[in-house]
Amino acid sequence: MKKKDTVITFKVDDDLLKVLEKIPNRSAFIRTAIVSALENVCPLCNGTGKLTSNQKRHWQDFAEDHMLCTCRECHEKFLVCSRSQ
């Protein structure tokens, strides 16, 4: 027997509701957006945008040997280990 999908709900403001109402398949759009967001979550903060004091300490240790650089081609930021140069 196939398990039925679970329905969840969430609140949106009026402006977001107006935009979502124009999307033909809102459920598919929202599912895709959530999966995409989850695939791109920061591995340190899990998407909160904040580090705990222990995470910050570990990050500072890591940052001593790593530099934040910008790609010349795509202009995205990335980390480079200074030990490998």
Tens digit of each residue's pLDDT (9 = 90 or more) over 15-41? 999 999 999 999 999 999 999 988 989
Domain range annotation of the chain? 14-84
62 neighbors 54 (Cβ within 8 angstroms): no
| The pLDDT of residue 85 | 59
| The pLDDT of residue 56 | 94
Whether residue 83 has pLDDT greater than 90 = no
The amino acid at 38: L
Cross-strand bridge partners of residue 66: 81
Average pLDDT of the chain is 91
What six digits make up the tokens of 74? 């795509």
* Distance of alpha carbon 72 from alpha carbon 76, whole angstroms: 8
How large a percentage of the chain has pLDDT more than 70?
Answer: 98
pTM listed for this prediction: 0.58
66 neighbors 82 (Cβ within 8 angstroms): yes
| The pLDDT of residue 82 | 87
More confident residue, 2 or 67: 67
Stretch 49-57: mean pLDDT, rounded? 94
